[in-house]
A = this chain, B = another copy of it.
Amino acid sequence: MSPVNKTKSKEISAEDANLSPIEQLLVLAETDMRAVDVIIRERMQSSVGMIPDLAEHLVGAGGKRLRPLLTIASAHMCDYQGTHHHKLAAAVEFIHSATLLHDDVVDVSAKRRGKKVANLIWGNAPSILVGDFLFARSFNLMVETGSLEALDILSTAASVIAEGEVQQLAALRDIEMSEETYLEVISAKTAALFAAAAEVSPVLAESPKRLRTAMRNYGRELGIAFQLVDDALDYGGFEVALGKSVGDDFREGKMTFPVIHAYQIAKDNKDEIGLAFWRRVIVDHEQRDIDLENAIALLGQTNALEATLDAARIHSDNAVKALRPFKTSPWKTALQELADYVVARVH
């Protein structure tokens, strides 16, 4: 195939209506993402063999690399001309990977990206330590960009993520958790890294403050929408397609938006049977095999998944609006479509 053909086919692919917006973004960002991948693979190496083995298990499993993709897209939105965004994108993915490794120890999930979670193969200890390693390496990468502001944004995000995770843990089995508190938790544990991933690029590009705020808000709102949809999918039964176990949140007694909604409706309707069910499975954490099905049925009766998607749509709309200050470009279009898709992917 000649180079001309190759370029042509790439353009066609980018406009291919059969590609999801994430895939379209990945086509636009192909060269950048390849550079990011090289950095990721280079920096997860270590003379201590267990580290690249375990990192490869997680990183090699792929995932959409949505967060580094945000950093790359954001750099193009701001006409950044350098190459430091590749290192920051890799740093963002390392922070995310470290969080996943630690989450899998904290939670009881058996699968991640369709593969057995690392701690069930290697044990908890290596997952914790390799997470620490990737986290430390992410800071090495940031230091190399020389941007103290990017370091500030990402280290702050990292501490906010941990706070969100601890807050969620402390609220485990708290059936009275409010929607407001819940949105606080996911703003911290999920949206903070999306926001930071989008914000570091305008910082590199020395863009005006309003563009920086716009990209940050886009990331934040996208992250909230993303998490809400994830909550709905945990009760949605698409295990094979998504490579994620269904019912993980339920089995842990984790309060998520659908449960908060269903419990509130049960309260409003004085539905004693519904209230007793949620209290038993969440507060007392007494669950039988059939209870996940029962929970899904109750969520159906109370339109809890629809309510969750409605809430997600508000935030994805906010994300689209956040991009207004930017001029029209294929990147802007792709990011707008991504925000819509994050909610639409559920159907």
Instruction: Give A contacts to B, CB under 8 Å.
Output: 46-51, 98-99, 102, 105-106, 124-126, 128-130, 132-133, 135-137, 139-140, 143, 146, 148, 151-152, 155-156, 158-159, 161-163, 165-167, 169-170
Contact = CB atoms under 8 A, between A and B. Distances in A.
B159 A140 contact: yes
28 contacts: A48-B167, A49-B170, A51-B163, A51-B166, A98-B132, A102-B132, A105-B125, A106-B124, A106-B125, A106-B129, A126-B166, A129-B169, A132-B135, A132-B158, A132-B161, A132-B165, A133-B159, A133-B166, A136-B155, A136-B156, A136-B159, A137-B155, A139-B139, A139-B155, A140-B152, A140-B159, A143-B148, A146-B148
Contacts of A130: 162, 166
A166 B49 CA distance: 9
Mostly helix, strand, loop or mixed at chain A's interface? helix
- 3 closest pairs, A vs B, by CB? A136-B159, A136-B158, A139-B155
A50 B133 contact: no
A126 B130 CA distance: 18
A310 B138 CA distance: 39
Contacts of A49: 170
